[in-house]
Amino acid sequence: MPAEAVPSGPSAERGRCAVLGDPVAHSLSPTLHRAAYPLLGLAWAYDAVPVGAGDLAGFLAGLDGWWRGLSLTMPLKREALALAGDVTTDRARLAGGVNTLVLSAGRVVRADNTDLPGAVAAVRERYDGPVTGGTVLGGGATAASTGLALCELGAREVRLLARRPERAADAAAAVAAHPSAPRVEVLPLDAAPVTGEVVVSTVPAAAQDDGLLARCAETPVVFEALYDPWPTPLAAAAAERPLVSGLDLLVHQAALQFEAFTGIPAPLAEMRAAGETALTARRVGA
């Protein structure tokens, strides 16, 4: 269909979106976005499409005018950053990756990162106190985005505890580049103290041993970036402390994507409920 015949804006009758990555079949993004469409009168489609490293440019070249947005997961975030050029937002450049492509007439008009503001919103939903510092367990891409989120929340000192500190250099550099110029340390996961008001875990549940839990025991806020398996040892040990889950992060970043794609505020509660139902079904069927 010619581009000029494609309807535009939130009242459009049709629209296509998808999450891309490899692997991608496990993604909850289709569940979250699909739950929102009928509530707002949108007859849109949202699918999970496997796209491997090096294949993003070819996929984008084949899109027609019905496409409105793409959610990106690994291994495509850095690839999208390199492809997007001058339509890339400052926060995507800061985070070092793009997870959101907004499309119009089959072309990318905005390349963004909703992981960063999604993490900020997820913390603020559960905790409204001060954040002067924090500790992130892990040193990968999620550690970078959540470390930057701590800076957005006010942290001036961020500590990254990594199983292999030498592999956390990129994450540390990303956090250190925040405009607030935070002090960033990279230390071993198995021994260093946990400091600040928030501890964020991006490490597997199997890495959360008793020693690590003991070092996290006095931290006021626990942010567990995983959502499956649940609860992780760290989440179970949170007790009465504010607990931010990986599902909270996923829902908030997806809600920001939904609004960017459709122009309509996302029904956050309904999207979260759909995600909870899907996760429960997975656990029962496991």
Residue numbers annotated as active site: 77
For 254-257, which contacts have Cβ atoms below 8 Å and span 24 or more sequence positions? 254/29, 254/32, 254/33, 254/71, 254/114, 254/118, 255/118, 256/100, 256/114, 256/117, 256/118, 256/121, 257/33, 257/69, 257/71, 257/99, 257/100, 257/114
* Residues 41 and 12 sit within 8 Å (Cβ to Cβ): no
CA-closest candidate to residue 94, choices 29, 162, 163, 181: 181
If residue 133 lies in a helix (H) or strand (E), which one and from where to where?
strand 133-137
